[in-house]
Chain A
Amino acid sequence: MTTMSDDKSLPRRRFLAAAGVAAATGASVSCSRAGKAYRFLTDAEAATLEAICAEIIPADEDPGAVEAGVVNFIDRQLVGHYQRLQQDYAEGLARLEQSANSKYGSNLAQLPSERRIEFLKGLEKERDPFFAMLVDHTMQGFYGSPRHGGNRNAVSWKMLGVPTPPVRGRRPVQNS
């Protein structure tokens, strides 16, 4: 049995624990992190996450994950639907930061982009489950509905030509 707990595989024991004490756990973790700019993330964690998101979907002629507010999206879900992933995020971000520091002697946020990409490609090659989850959540925050706190100003939908606001059914039916 694996001990990872991304959204696709949650071992039984963790689920039972999470189901039983989810509210209590969430509350206590959040309380110790009060007074920050984010709901769950500490400023340092947010900086790490932002550095990673910036490489998962970089800005080019269109805004990227950072500009679209993906960190805000993830933070919001961590006190919402992804509340059960709080510990994974806290531990995962700390682990990546530690690993980057021992490898490059620098925080991820201070690394040049090429080094960060190299670092993340290493994680991908190792099939790091936390990184795979970050990629997925970044895609959700960037390409998903702005209502969830990401995709600010519907930047990705504008990029793809998806009508926004998503009012559909403009075409009348022409049956004789």
Chain B
Amino acid sequence: MALKHVKAVVVGSGAGGGIVAKELAEAGLSVVLLERGHWVTPAECGKDDLRNQRTSVLGASFGPDDRSPRVVVDADGTERVIRPSQGGYHNNAGCVGGGTASYGAMAWRFMEQDFRLRSIYGAVKDSTLEDWPITYDDLEPHYEKAEWELGVSGDDTNNPFKAPRKKPLPMPPLPPNRDYEIMLPAAKRLGLHPFDIPMLRNSVPYAGRPQCMRCRWCVGFACEVNARNGTQNTVIPTALATGNCELRTNCMAKEILLTPQGRARGVAYFDEKDRLQEQTADIVIVCCAAIESARLLLNSRSKLFPDGLGNRYDWVGRNLQGHAYPGAQGVVPFDAYDDVGPGAGIAVCDYNHGNPGLVGGAMLANEFIRLPYQFVQQVPRTMPRWGLEHKAYVRKNFRRTLSIKGPVQEIPVFESRVQVDPKVKDYWGIPVARLSGFKHPHTMEVSKFMAARAEEWVKEAGATDITLSIPGAGLSGGQHQAGTCRMGNDPKTSVVDKYCRVHDVDNVYIADGSLHVTNGGFNPVLTIMALAYYASANIIRNWR
């Protein structure tokens, strides 16, 4: 039996899709929201330190499961089929709320410069570095809407580098934990400008949800008290309450259905019982995150788009990026760890731009989480990896370690990309994503620079035995995956226009990190949310 035609089908219920579904439903459009995963409850998550979103050695508890492998091509050409719970998969999540159900919830606005890197720094050799087709000012009202509708706490008034905001954050910051208190005076002595990180987390009761209970096992887990704000506990319930939005979970999108003229007529997907369904709609909005959105477009072929929807000029899946995460950790001769969450609380933006000879930079912040098994991986490389000495190091320094790190704004690489694999298919028979590429050499240079800045900060805080972590040159993606369906004015060098609509197709939009021309020196989620509000406004203007 054919499913009832709707105005809009939204694929993916994460940071982007949750917001688009809510905006469209509130505007009176009929919406079907497809999600490949299910609602992950705190009880199911169970604060399992070996099976969560960040440490998935015993499984990726926020999905997807082993039915969704990927192929990863290493630098030497070796192809490997990777499970979601394995390193190198570049997993984000597959559940209602997407990554926002388990994220650390830093709520950064990108800086004004982040939208104009090409104009500020010029062309970079072997990079597709470009300006965004929109500016910070275009997104400002949408950043504000995200901050107030989902709920952000923090205080960036002491950050002189931030882009201007019209309205303050709706909630004050959480009080500092111990490593915040240690890092604060050290930052000031160095002449830096520390401030309270904006977080999508309730410091006071907000919108009917309680305040944070200061659990340190936060990032990677579901919040037991509903104090961390993702789309799953904010905009998606609002969308459902309008009566205009139906959420279908455990539904795996196969392809966007196209008319002979190349317009979308809906989405084919496998439902929770693995039955192939066709949901027809006037508009399709793709919100599956950078890797899966590219995969869906590439798997949607027609006479007009033999290489995939929107891929006329071979830009779909290109410029895959995430964040290189350099940092420094050191040991102090006293207890610096108080197990008070959410962990990260203090940051500086002194090094996001204006670094001599470098393009961009990174925000630096203190550490989120310290699970015992995670800490074991962080034991300095100069130490034995096992045996008595290793155990003694872990015992002595678990509570005496300070760590600073930050997300480097990556220089886009055209060869870093998502394709669909010609042979490997997932459980449903859909060709899987095939990932290949590397970080731009300049990203590595900036990473080394940022690790040295992190080192200065932990050193000033009294740490010795400092270890620098410099990321490898391999492909970036992961939770901060972005860039694969770039926005732009020229259809020959971008996938969507400045209204987030796929070039040459008037009824397919994208609203997730795929759109990012560059990914900022920040956790990208608030920008994804702002873009989703921005895209929704464009859709409503044209389609209501």
B83 to chain A, nearest CB (A): 7
Interface size on B, residues (CB 8 A): 55
| Complex Cα gap A55–B203 (Å) | 46
Taking CB as reference atom, which chain A residue is nearest B173? A175
Residues of chain B with a CB closer than 8 A to A56's CB: 386-387
| Complex Cα gap A139–B224 (Å) | 27
Taking CB as reference atom, which chain B residue is nearest A19? B66
Q: Check: A15 CB closer than 8 A to any chain B CB.
A: yes
The answer to whether A169 and B203 touch (CB under 8 A), given A12-B79, A57-B391, A144-B49, is no
- Taking a contact as CB atoms under 8 Å apart, the answer to whether A168 and B398 are in contact is no
Select the residue from B71, B79, B395 with max chain A CB neighbours within 10 A.
B395
Interface secondary structure of B, over-half rule:
loop
Residues of chain A with a CB closer than 8 A to B78's CB: 1-2
Q: Check: B213 CB closer than 8 A to any chain A CB.
A: yes
Residues of chain B with a CB closer than 8 A to A57's CB: 386-387, 390-391
Contact flags B368-391 to A (C-beta < 8 A → 1, else 0): 000011011000000001111011
B262 to chain A, nearest CB (A): 34
- Taking a contact as CB atoms under 8 Å apart, the answer to whether B391 and A58 are in contact is yes
| Complex Cα gap A136–B80 (Å) | 21
- Residues facing B in A133-176 (CB within 8 A) are 135-136, 138-140, 143-145, 147-148, 156-157, 159-163, 166, 168-171, 173-175
| Complex Cα gap A165–B225 (Å) | 18
- Taking a contact as CB atoms under 8 Å apart, the answer to whether A12 and B50 are in contact is no
Taking CB as reference atom, which chain A residue is nearest B377? A139
Residues of chain B with a CB closer than 8 A to A60's CB: 388, 391-392
Q: Check: B63 CB closer than 8 A to any chain A CB.
A: no
Residues of chain B with a CB closer than 8 A to A162's CB: 339, 372, 398
Q: Check: A7 CB closer than 8 A to any chain B CB.
A: yes
Residues of chain A with a CB closer than 8 A to B217's CB: 166, 168
Of A2, A10, A64, A147, which one neighbours B48 at CB under 8 angstroms? Answer: A147
- Taking a contact as CB atoms under 8 Å apart, the answer to whether A173 and B175 are in contact is yes
- Taking a contact as CB atoms under 8 Å apart, the answer to whether A168 and B86 are in contact is no
- Taking a contact as CB atoms under 8 Å apart, the answer to whether B214 and A10 are in contact is no
Select the residue from A60, A120, A139, A159 with max chain B CB neighbours within 10 A.
A139
Taking CB as reference atom, which chain B residue is nearest A2? B78
Taking CB as reference atom, which chain A residue is nearest B225? A169
A138 to chain B, nearest CB (A): 7
Taking CB as reference atom, which chain B residue is nearest A169? B213
Q: Check: B216 CB closer than 8 A to any chain A CB.
A: yes
Of A10, A117, A124, A143, which one neighbours B81 at CB under 8 angstroms? Answer: A10
A108 to chain B, nearest CB (A): 15
B130 to chain A, nearest CB (A): 34
| Complex Cα gap A139–B392 (Å) | 14
Can you list 20 contacts pairing A with B, beta carbon distance less than 8 Å?
A8-B88, A10-B80, A10-B82, A10-B86, A19-B66, A57-B387, A62-B391, A81-B57, A81-B85, A117-B387, A139-B386, A143-B372, A143-B375, A147-B48, A162-B339, A168-B214, A168-B216, A168-B341, A173-B211, A173-B213
Give the interface of B toward A (CB within 8 A).
Answer: 46-51, 57-59, 66, 69, 71, 78-83, 85-88, 172, 174-175, 203-204, 211-217, 224-225, 339-341, 372-373, 375-376, 385-388, 390-392, 394-395, 398-399, 424
Give the interface of A toward B (CB within 8 A).
Answer: 1-2, 7-12, 15-16, 19, 55-58, 60, 62, 64, 77, 80-81, 117, 120, 124, 135-136, 138-140, 143-145, 147-148, 156-157, 159-163, 166, 168-171, 173-175
